Structure 1
Amino acid sequence: MKKLPYLFSLLSLLFCSKQETALTSDKSMETSKIIKDSVTKPEATKDTLDVVEHLKVINDEVLQSLKMKDYEKFSTFIHPEKGVTFSMYSYVNTKKDKHFSLEDFRKYSSSPIKFTWGEKDGTGDPLILSLKDYLEQWVFKKDFTQSQFSLNSYQGQGNTINNIRKTYEGSLVENYIPGTEEYGLMDWNSLFFVFSEYEGQYYLVAVINNSWTT
């Protein structure tokens, strides 16, 4: 009978030891999963998050310059070597879309000279405006400072072919304004910026509008 307490203590010790081993194993598996996720999901890493935050700051500054019609400030974000291309819709055609070097943008942003930017959806009528009017009437047609920000993904889904990612390398930012119930959610608008790195800084190489098309 004296051996029973000893036997009971021994069994309890063995049970606790197994529990600790199981917990240690679970923690190891959890740690392995975290490491695996950080490799397979780079968007979750600190460096990538820093890039997103940095691009968000630049994006907001670009939007603010457009809202304030400060095109001298806007020009400071244009790529010094590649310049910037403007596309009316998400189907990009670099042979037809208007391209400006940094110098040309500064020259024409205050000029009354008009350009043909493309054709309006639905009517096919050419859009003929000065650079300043294009920025005010087409690019910043809505207050995109109140939009939803996303990086390298699409929020606005329409029936126009979207070939932005096939055309441009770099970081793609979307500023998205959802549609309203009044118009069956079809009056959404997006303003895309494509940023490319140059000497450690991000610069604009493309400005692209998108909306529902017929």
Structure 2
Amino acid sequence: MKKLLMPIIGVFMLISCEKEAAASGTVQTVGDPAIAKSDTLNLRENETAEIQSASSIKSANDRILNILQQKDYWELGSYIHPEKGVRFTMYAYVRPDKDKVFSLADYRRYINTEVKFTFGEKDGSGDLYVATLKTYLDKWVYKRDFATGTYYENTFRGTGNSLNNLKEIYPALNFTENYIEGSQKYGGMDWNALRLVFEEFNGRYYLVAVINDEWTI
């Protein structure tokens, strides 16, 4: 009789444990739909965040190009990083010790003045490039209508014989490249690129560097 009761008691105990586990909702097994759903939601949230980030950067890039195209240089100040300011680099190679950097306050102070600055040296001749801030933006930064160029994000299309250290100087930041292809007449060597480097601050992307690039000697 005892031998008969033992299996029956075991079955009742097993059923009781399963009911308690089901009631508590704490037991999850491999392949649990709840886990799969959670992972899927997290993946979708990450993808959405990346899309929104890319959209914000593209929007900022396009707006800045429009500002430069319209020569609305005062408005450009609204995109300059409030704490770090903006660096202007004449060619692909960023020179932290030589490139001209303007704080937001200095940019506002000088943009509508005739004060001239040395922005660097011209390739080939080595002549100093001295100009007002407004002239530099007009004649150098937006030397081509980059709004009509091809847009790239975090990648380089324009490559020449000059060094490019953007990713070494700004390893964790996003950048855009607005590329204008060279002509057949000059064997494609008259290409130009305008790169804008962005950093997020208080939930918005601000400009920290403006880098021009072209074929150099």
Residue aligned with 2:75, SS: helix
Q: 2:192 aligns with which of 166, 181, 189?
A: 189
Q: Structure 1: any 5+ residue segments left out of the alignment? A: 1-34
Partner of residue 20, structure 1: none
Q: 2:95 aligns with which of 89, 93, 112?
A: 93
Cα deviation code 1:63-107 (max 9, x no counterpart): 111111111110000000000000001100011000000010011
Q: CA deviation at 1:50?
A: 2.5
Q: 1:80 aligns with which of 79, 82, 101?
A: 82
* TM-score (norm: length of structure 1): 0.78
CA distance in 1, matches of 2:88, 2:157: 20
Cα deviation code 1:178-198 (max 9, x no counterpart): 111111001000000000000
CA distance in 1, matches of 2:125, 2:51: 43
CA distance in 1, matches of 2:91, 2:48: 34
Q: CA RMSD in A?
A: 1.8
> Residue 181 of structure 2 contacts residue 191 of structure 2 at CA under 8 Å; is this kept in 1?
yes
Q: Does 1:206 align with 2:213?
A: no
Query: What is the one-letter code of the residue matched to 2:211?
Result: I
Q: 2:148 aligns with which of 146, 149, 174?
A: 146
The structure number with the bigger radius of gyration is 2
Percent of pairs with identical residues: 47
CA distance in 2, matches of 1:163, 1:58: 23
Q: Structure 2: any 5+ residue segments left out of the alignment? A: 1-38
CA distance in 1, matches of 2:48, 2:205: 19
Q: 1:134 aligns with which of 123, 133, 136?
A: 136
CA distance in 1, matches of 2:56, 2:144: 24
Aligned length: 175
Q: 1:50 aligns with which of 49, 52, 75?
A: 52
Q: CA deviation at 1:51?
A: 1.7
Cα deviation code 1:1-29 (max 9, x no counterpart): xxxxxxxxxxxxxxxxxxxxxxxxxxxxx
Give 4+ residue runs of structure 1 displaced > 6 Å after superposition.
Answer: none
Q: 1:178 aligns with which of 159, 165, 181?
A: 181
Which moved further from structure 2: 165-174 or 76-85? 165-174
Q: CA deviation at 1:53?
A: 1.8
